[in-house]
Amino acid sequence: MQQAISYRDRDGFVIVKDQTVQRFVQHSYAGTYDHFIASGLYQHLVGEGLLITHTEINLNITESSKYYKVLETPFIPFISYPYEWTASQWKEAVLNILEINLISIEYGMILKDATPFNCTFYHGKCIFIDTLSFETYTDGEPWIAYRQFCESMLGPAALVFFNEVAWGRMMQSYINGWPLKMISSNLPLHTWFKTATLFHIHLHAGFGKKSYIKKRGDGFSKEKLSMLWDLLKKSVTHWKLRSNKKIWSDYYDTGILSKQYLDHKLLMVSDWLKETQPHTVIDFGANNGLFSITASGISQKVIAVESDHDCVEHLRQQITDRKIQNIETVLADITQPTVATGWKNEERQALLQRLKGDMVLSLALIHHLCISSNIPLPFIAELFSTLTTQYALVEFIPRTDPKVTDMLINRKDIFQDYTEEHFIQSFNEYFTLIKWANCDSSERKLFLWEKK
């Protein structure tokens, strides 16, 4: 049965079941698909790491006759959405779309759509996941996806870079992009002096919806399109994120209690991960990724969830510099996680539907959830139990800790149930306590829980 995630494409659809991903190619796409493969474009893009691989498979004779091809692609355990990306991820996605077009046009093909949802991050890099987004290019034709690219990719990326990083998250309410006039009106004055934003957002916004409806031969050609994409690529490459005030990204340099505390906690977390050997770790409140990177050396997969943009950017830089392939990042707030959206609220899944692992890692986070966000301890225990199949490694920071004391300054203390006893009681509802230990040079404790 065709799923909501792929209903827009008349040339094929996707079925995801039991960790297999199958793309059914309709007979209407046969000639285009054959050219895509025979021309060498598919192999070129896969070789560059820009496009996900696929294998042609055979179903039973009855099923196979209904479709031209059935393609099986690697199952990506966690798909991140554009509103969970940092500025650098937006930039990478925009540049990848432009590079794919530059390569494709040399093989006589072009992307027929340009939505950021055709991209995700896998093995630490942006990858294009819609094999059927390519069509044959006829010289003299315009790029039909140009306006979509400007409204849903270039424009949102510009808002993130030149206005405020929070714009990225707001895209969950506009999954098809924003009107160009809205984007233009919210960009600062200096973007009128940048090539990409001047021509493709500000001036483009003035043409209205008819700006992309051109007749064949109206000045378009393979060479001109290549020049357009190349100039756009060069311009976006030089985009720099405006300076943001760091809150947590230097936390482990300036905000920890002591080096002894941190070193001992690192040692214990590492030892307990080696003992439990979780396949997938969900690191809530990942901060700048210190413990995510530690877990990545032990587990096969780490999903780092953090609400502070600078922290996630710091981690992504580490992923790039160290060529780490098994950490995926999510820019999200656990107290208000990404919701399901799109057609029937099924087109794009909620974050908590996509987050699944066999270990939840929660270090120096519980006190923020309970005191800053007023989340009851039983709620946290229940949430963790729904996201892990096996373990939870949780740090508890008592009321007497300096960080908690600071949080309670100038606030009415309504958190009398924020105690270690209530913490243990709450988690005991869903987990069995395996072990606990004090962190050196502090009153903080680590607890290792196993799901009941």
**Each residue's pLDDT tens digit, 60-104:** 654 557 889 999 999 999 999 999 999 999 999 999 999 999 999
Any domain includes 87: yes
Same domain, 28 and 136: yes
Among candidates 54, 44, 46, which has minimal Cα distance to 12? 54
pLDDT band at residue 347 under the 50/70/90 scheme: confident
| 8-22, 176-190, 201-215 — most confident range | 176-190
**What pLDDT, on the 0 to 100 scale, is given for residue 259?**
85
Q: Residue 359: pLDDT above 80? A: yes
Same domain, 413 and 302: yes
Same domain, 198 and 231: yes
End-of-domain residue from the set 180, 215, 237:
237
Same domain, 15 and 156: yes
**What pLDDT, on the 0 to 100 scale, is given for residue 2?**
46
Q: Residue 138: pLDDT above 60? A: yes
Same domain, 18 and 118: yes
Region 131-148: what's the mean pLDDT?
Answer: 94
Distance (Å, whole) CA 384 – CA 381: 5
Distance (Å, whole) CA 136 – CA 111: 9
Region 122-143: what's the mean pLDDT?
Answer: 94
Count CB neighbours of 373 within 10 A: 11
Any domain includes 132: yes
Distance (Å, whole) CA 96 – CA 151: 16
Same domain, 82 and 129: yes
pLDDT band at residue 346 under the 50/70/90 scheme: confident
pLDDT band at residue 435 under the 50/70/90 scheme: very high
Q: Residue 343: pLDDT above 90? A: no
Instruction: Give percent of the chain with pLDDT exceeding 70.
Output: 91
Mean residue pLDDT across the chain: 90
Give residues with Cβ within 8 angstroms of 416, minimum separation 6: none
**What pLDDT, on the 0 to 100 scale, is given for residue 118?**
95
The number of distinct structural domains making up the chain is 2
Same domain, 112 and 17: yes
**What pLDDT, on the 0 to 100 scale, is given for residue 251?**
52
- Give the residue numbers spanning the domain of 443: 251-451
Distance (Å, whole) CA 114 – CA 311: 29
pLDDT band at residue 436 under the 50/70/90 scheme: very high
Same domain, 29 and 116: yes
H helix intervals, 69-123: 87-105
Region 116-124: what's the mean pLDDT?
Answer: 95
> What's the alpha-carbon Rg for the chain, to the nearest Å?
24
Region 423-444: what's the mean pLDDT?
Answer: 95
**What digits encode the pLDDT tens for the residues 230-270?**
999 999 999 988 755 554 455 554 455 678 999 999 999 99
Strand ranges, E, within 179-285: 280-284
**Burial of residue 63 (number of CB atoms within 10 Å: 0-12, 13-18, 19+):** exposed
Between 155-162 and 87-105, two packed helices, what is the crossing angle to 10 degrees? 150
Q: Classify 121 as helix, strand or coil.
A: strand
Of the listed ranges 298-312, 336-350, 354-368, 401-415, the one predicted with least confidence: 401-415
Of 3 and 280, more confident:
280
**What pLDDT, on the 0 to 100 scale, is given for residue 319?**
96
Distance (Å, whole) CA 41 – CA 309: 36
Any domain includes 68: yes
Of 342 and 277, more confident:
277
Q: Which CATH number belongs to the domain containing residue 88 in this structure?
A: 1.10.510
Distance (Å, whole) CA 24 – CA 13: 5
Q: Residue 181: pLDDT above 70? A: yes
Same domain, 89 and 168: yes
